[in-house]
Structure 1
């Protein structure tokens, strides 16, 4: 991901106190940047992943989530979220009263109702907790 895109996403998410980046894979630049800005960040994936200093990791499956990993989060975020995980991620965010922001793999449209925010090099898809904050 381009540096300006990482910075733009981090700028957008920096207003949250606690962010959980789901399905992190090996893309840890946003989590690193947020942690560096003082945001409490947890990264999750279905397999163990190394995360930057200041980023907590929890192995978890979005389709059968451990709620305690996500409780207290203000925002669930994902990069390149595959279509089959759009609905489970948004449902999970709603269960823990968190906003959900994600990007897709370019050509994949969101499979949930969203608002769109254009940032450098990317579109953020946004689902607000309880209709907005």
Structure 2
């Protein structure tokens, strides 16, 4: 497995191993990480601001994380994003805080936000910008 498919596989396998109710933010035309989660037998939801043609097994909702409809994320234990635009990180952190669910991000190259959050290596570096139950004063703002 090479290139970005390796990245999506690592992210999806990590999410599947640690969560039961994940939501992928900004799925776009690339449901490969979600496929790994789905193949592990975990129900997965995907969100994007644009309409997306995705496989039937993937529950998809259009939403704007800059003005989110919280009902789209009900019950999520993790929000995750693969290569989100840097300006998406602050609203993702705010959303994770409101939902009190983990926020996990894989960045393109050496990008990060703030202090980079806690980094976990699952074959690729994942940034935790918020953890459930975390004291908000300790999270990245």
Runs of 4+ in 1 over 6 A off after TM superposition: none
When normalised by structure 2's length, the TM-score is: 0.84
Give yes or no for the alignment of 1:25 onto 2:25. Answer: no
Question: For residue 15 of structure 2, what is the aligned residue in structure 1?
Answer: 13
Question: For residue 6 of structure 2, what is the aligned residue in structure 1?
Answer: 4
| Aligned equivalents of 2:125, 2:65: Cα separation in 1 | 22
Aligned length: 131
1:59-90 deviations in Å (ceiling 9; x for gaps): 00000001000110010000001111111001
From the superposition, tell whether residues 112 and 53 of structure 1 become closer, same or farther in structure 2 (CA, over 3 Å). Answer: farther
Two-structure CA RMSD over aligned residues (Å) = 1.8
From the superposition, tell whether residues 79 and 67 of structure 1 become closer, same or farther in structure 2 (CA, over 3 Å). Answer: same
Return the match for 2:107 from 104, 108, 112. 104
Task: Specify every segment of 5 or more residues in structure 1 that has no aligned partner in the other structure, as ranges.
Answer: none
Task: Specify every segment of 5 or more residues in structure 2 that has no aligned partner in the other structure, as ranges.
Answer: 136-141
When normalised by structure 1's length, the TM-score is: 0.88
From the superposition, tell whether residues 95 and 113 of structure 1 become closer, same or farther in structure 2 (CA, over 3 Å). Answer: farther
Return the match for 2:78 from 75, 78, 86. 75
